[in-house]
Structure formats: C-alpha cells, structure tokens
Structure 1
Amino acid sequence: MSDASKLGFDTLQIHAGSAPDPATGARQTPIYQTTAFVFRDADHAAKLFNLQEVGYIYSRLTNPTVAVLQERVATLEGGVGAVCCSSGHAAQIMALFPLMGPGKNVVVSTRLYGGSITQFSQTIKRFGWSASFVDFDDLGAVEAAIDDDTRAIFCESIANPGGYITDLDAIAKIADAAGLPLIVDNTTASPYLCRPIEHGATLVVHSLTKFLTGNGTVTGGCVVDSGKFDWSASDKFPSLSAPEPAYHGLTFHETFGPMAFTFHGIAIGLRDLGMTLNPQAAHYTLLGIETLSLRMQRHCENAMRLATWLQTHPAVAEVTYAGLGSSPYHDRVARICPKGASSLFTIRLKDGYDACVKLVDSLDLFSHVANLGDSRSLVIHSASTTHRQLTEEQQVAAGAGPDVVRFSVGLEDAEDLIADLDQALAKASA
C-alpha cells in the first residue's frame, strides 16, 4: 500500500493493514480460524518464542486476521502499533497492566461509563491498584491528585453518557509535566471524530463493540500505542524499562523502541491474561470500519437534529449535547472533535425518575439496550441500569443522575426518530 501518511481517512479505513491474500488472491481479509500455526523448522520456532522474529505462533497471541485489524486501527489513530483483545474493559486492563503494580494508582475522570467506574473503583483493588476520581474540568484538582505512586492518567475523549468533551490538550500537559502516560478511551468519538494522540495521548483504548464495528454484532477491544512515550526516563515502568525474566533479561524498551508497549502487550499481556479477540470478531470489525466515516457523519447529523428539537420540548429540563451552542463544552468541539460531537447525549426530564422509565418503555424505534454506537438508535436509563451500582452522588457526577436518559442516535430517518420521541415524551409526562 502507498505511504499511509499521504492517504486520506476514507482510503485508510478500507485499505490500511490489508492486501490481497498471497495464497488465494482473496481481496477481503480472510478469517484465519485456526488455533496454531506450523513452524518452518525448530530454529524458526525458537526465534519466534525468543521474540527474535515476528510471526504467528498461537492465536491467543497473534492471528493474521486480528493483525490486519490492529494495523488498521493503529493507522487511523496515528499510532505505531495496537493490540486487540476481547472487549473494551479488557483493553483498559491491558493498557494498565504494564504500568501498574501493588500500591500504585491511576488518576481518572469522574465522567466515565458506569462499568469503567466500577472497574476502577472496585475491581482493580484486587490487583493492589487504586484510582483517584477527579473532575477533569478542574485542572488544579487533577494535578493535586498525582503523587509518587501515580502511574497513569485516564479519561474519555467524549464521555459516556453525557457526551462531555475532555480538554485533552490541557490534561496532556499535566501528564507530560508529571512524566506520566495519558490513556484516552476514544470509543464514543472514534478516530474519525477525534485523534487523541494528536492532542498528547500516550495510549488510546477502544471498545470495538461500539462505533468501529457499528452494527452490534461482536465485542472487542483495542489498545493503540502512540510510540512517543519514553518508558526509560524514570524507574516508574520496570515492565518496559527493566530486564524481563521471562525472556532471559530482554528489555522491551531497549529492544523494541517505540513499539515496546505493543510488543509487551502481545508477549506478556495476551500471553498471560489471555484476553484474546477471536478472528471472526476481528473480521466483522474490519467490515464495519470500512464505512466508519460515512456512518459517523450521519450519526452526528441525526444527533444534532434530535438534540436541537429536544432542547425546546416542554418536558425536557436539559440536553447535554456538546454540538449545541448552549453546551459549556461547545467551544471544545472545533478543537478536539472538529468533525462532530458524536451521537451520544443525555436529556434530563422535569418529572424525574418515573418519567424517565415511562419514556424508555414508550419508545418504539429506539431500542432499549445497554450499548451504544449501533446503526440503530438506542436508549437507556443509566441510573437504573449501567450506573445502578453507583451511589446517587456518583451517578450525578458521572452525568447519569436519576432524572437522566441517555441516547445513542442511529442512522434512521431523523423525522421518524423525532416522531417516536414526541409520542413517548407525551406519554412520559402525562
């Protein structure tokens, strides 16, 4: 393929990482549904296991179909490499795994998906890790939360559920000053709307399940490495800067340079955690990415139409969509997400919790599911579902209070969606 740096996004989303199959000439990337791969000879096998040669050993580690997806997502994000895994939650653990250790902490935004809040506030404690939750609009609070045991800063580019846009440039400056990697979950934006590496992110994580696949068929995750962080600048990241006993003292950063994190993610992360993405799921995601730009344009257009209509509805107290001029995050759209503010936003109903439940139950075209980024329009009452495990204070801080309903606007005719909302709101406020 031609030099990727000279090709446009629409071209790369179709061609990056792929070529006609050398054995058959198949133009679409085949599904390599195999567990293992035959070695040429004993010497070839030894070199692969010693990380002296790149190739395929076992599909828990590497697979040709998954490899194409990794290169495509990395290219679209402007990274040097990527590691795909079984889900977005797996990607978050994979991103932290080489960085953390017992007693270490990560500074995270309060505006996160409810499952991520639980993962950071509860689950990672079992590894001896901890998280400090901070409002990332308060830059002083972010700086104050960093201590000698902090090993990363984590946020979402466009936060789920409210569609809030994080000032990535400002957070990246804080991370750089502290000598810490910035990890950005770019699921809601996708690389079409936002490229966090261009704003200073070290690592980008995705739930492939959402916009990248775009059709609600598979679960998957991905960690993209910018290749720009100096893992040897301090002694904070020994997994990457110190000799690795499992590979006879090999030092990942010294050996692999900008690709150190990516190789560690495969050789250690996938080897030992086993959070593998299956090749059929990778194939579906590759198909979805081919139309990413077209879908995101329509998602954003429809979301703007619906948000504009909803902000004038008498039953609605507030609409959080950053694309609206009334949003406090509107000024960040042009700088962080210049092609649109995504399809995700929330509304707050004047009649509270019960009205939210009635609204969800009264919609016809909107599917009531715990997902986002589908071609279909989706709705959920986060306080009673995805954020149910949180306290009301945590729900409000995350933008998922009891009187809030979240929408992921799909690709349908906008007038049909508005008509569905109109009848459902009438029933909810009756």
Structure 2
Amino acid sequence: MKSLKIFVVEDDDWFNKLIVHTLSLNPDHEVISFKTGKDCLRRLNESPDVITIDYRLPDMTGDELLEKVSESDRRIQAIVISEQNEIQTAVDLLKKGAYDYLVKSEDIRDRLLNTIKHISENRALQKEVVILKKEVREKYAFSNAVIGQSSKIKEVFDLASKALNNNITISIVGETGTGKENLAKAIHYNSIQKEGSFVAVNVAAIPDGLIESELFGHEKGAFTGAQTRRIGKFEEADGGTLFLDEIGEMSMNMQVKLLRALQEREVVRIGSNKPVSFNCRIIVATHKDLKEEVKEGNFREDLFYRLLGLSISLPPLRERGPDIILLAEHFARLFAKDNGMPPKRLSDSAKSKLNKYHWPGNIRELKSVIDLAFVLSGEEEITSDHISYSESENMDDLMVTELTLREYTRKIVQLFMKKYNNNTKTVAEKLDIGQTTVYRVLKELEEEQ
C-alpha cells in the first residue's frame, strides 16, 4: 500500500507532467493529476494526504481551492505553486493554512521533493504520537494502573469513576508509596481531559524560592538567570491535568498565590503584569492530614476547602489483604518482561512471608522487594529465602525474643517511628499513648547510644 496519496492540480500540461513524474519517482507515492479545481474537489472523498495547487487555475484561484480543501478536511496538506514570487500572497496563503508556497523556477523539483519529505516525516511523527498516546492510555487504564481486588481498593475505583466526566478538583490522601501519582494518571487518561497533558509537580522537591517560577512561569530578564521566557506548569497543563504532589509541603506565602490562581483561573508570570488564563483539572496529593495541618496553622483553611473537591483516600498496602500477592505477581511479571527473562512464580512460603510483613514503604517497597527477589532466585520459583526487607526487623520478628515490657515498648516505638516517617504525633495516635511518652522513650534510646 502506498504511504502517501498526492493530488496534483495544474492546468499547464507540461508542468503537470513534470510534477507528476517528479513525485512518482518515489514508489511510496500515489500521484493523481487534475487540470481544474472542480475536478479535484469531486474526488476529495478519496482522502489525499497532500495537494499541490497551481495558484492560477482556469476555474478558480489557488486560495479559493485552498479554502474549500481546508473546509473539507483540515488534515490535508496543501502546497501552493505560483509563477510569481509575491511575498504578500505567500504570507496570506500560509495564514490560510497552506503548508508551503513554491515559485515555479529551475529548482522547483528539489524544493517540492524537500517539502513532501517534511510532510512525510511529520505524518510519521503524528502517527507515532497517536500510537504512544494509545499505549499510555492502556498502561493507565484503571485495571492496569491501580491493581487490586480488595474491598478498599474497589471503593477507590468507585470514587475515581465519578470524576471522569467532569472537571472537579481531586485530593488524594495516602501514605508514601501507596500509588497516589499512578491513581492521578489513571484518572487523567480515562477522563475528558485525556487529550491534554498530564503535568506533575512534586512541591516538596522544589525549593521555596523557585516554586512560583515553576508553577506560574517567568518573563525574560525577570530575575538573574532568567535568560528566556518560561511557560509555567499551569499553562503547560492547559486543557489537561495539573498534579500537585505533596501539597502539604507548600509554604504559606505560596499558598496565598496558589489560592488566587485557583480562584481567578489565571496566573501572572514573574516579571509580567499580564494575566494568562488556564483551564485544567487540579489533582493534589499528600501523605499528611490537611485538617490537622489547618488546625496547627500550617495550611490555609480557605485553600484547604478550595482543593478538597472529591477526596479519595488510598489505603496502605497492609490493609489491602489479597492485593499484596496480586501486586507481587504483577511486579514479578513486569520485571521478567522488562529484562527479557522467563517468568517466575511465587512459592507458598514466599506468599506467606509477604502477607505477614507490614509494608511501611507500601507498593513502592513491595516492587523493590520483588525486583531483588527475582534477581536472587536462580530457579523458576521465588521462595521465602529470596524475600528480604530493608528493615532489620518487623513485628513478627519482634516477638521471637523474650524481652521486658519496657524493652518491647522501646522497640515498638522505634518501629512505628520508621513506619510513620518520624512523626511523633502520628505515632502517639496510632499507639494510643501520649506524645510525651513517645518523646521520653526516644530520649532514653538516645541516652543509651
């Protein structure tokens, strides 16, 4: 099958044959010629990829034919060919949608072939983009992006599905490593915003002095080092989704500016007074309890309610029951595929060990554990001997050795401090003890070192 269908519209018999002969030298071209614009229009239903248009035809002008072609199918690339080197005419035609304007001269064949080459390359790139978009959508289909069959993850699916046909702001809450960004991507690529870009910003990873420029952009010369204009993430996400990860880490000063941007649906680049409007869905994520952050004065209450929207809580892996093994098997298959290796199964002992662990690092930790186990296992099966954790001990190991109540208390506090990122308030709540008790235990441990 020919890769490029080209219509040639030229009333001069000699020049018509010249163009047809030149283009037909490439075996991938299917070339059909016409003497009038009307003849060409009658066969537009054959969907040509390119049309070369003589500017002065017997029945209509080149710009008239160009306009009718554009109305019929804007994907058709039109090349206007004229005897006159008229700059203003060329500019007008390019504004109307012509791909190129060529003058009939000695080098017309080379210039025409060069233009056709560029069109072919652009079409190939467009096809590649379409294929990549399809692959991304398949990758982030809910069944692929958020794997699980537990009741808690099904509740997440049900909530997320309610956001697909609208533009509601979404707030995702969950411990580190639970897959908040994956869920955000799944929502985007299955929603009405899927044709737009998914733009992710990790608020915690950007210094406070740079976050405004990152989100809103800046003009050339706005500050030292601003050598060119930079488009901010809000503008970049226009028509799509802006994902603000770890929103709880944003400074109070930046929270004020973010609130205004969300209220007005516009941003002002640093160094400019001109507002730039945007239209994108906002998805935020955090591992913190923002209500508590509001109470403690670390997060603005008005911004909290502006961002709340549809709230989705991602459960930690230890509360997802059968999903642990489902995910483990998925990561084992993925590792085998990515590395061109034969698949390996999980033994009963491996599954038992995986189910007993409390997974402080959640899904991210599980993937690392399975990747390592796959490498360590030389056979077709991954056993419990190949499963190793980064922590020196877990709650099951803790009960093997007989200790005093005081020693057990210290070890439990240590484990929970690791599990909850050294947040003494959260540890106190989870263990149902006073925060002062946690401080006392940590002080005793420090003094003993």
TM-score, structure 1 as length reference: 0.28
Larger Rg: 2
TM-score, structure 2 as length reference: 0.27
Larger RCO (CA within 8 A; separation ≥ 6):
1
Higher relative helix content: 2
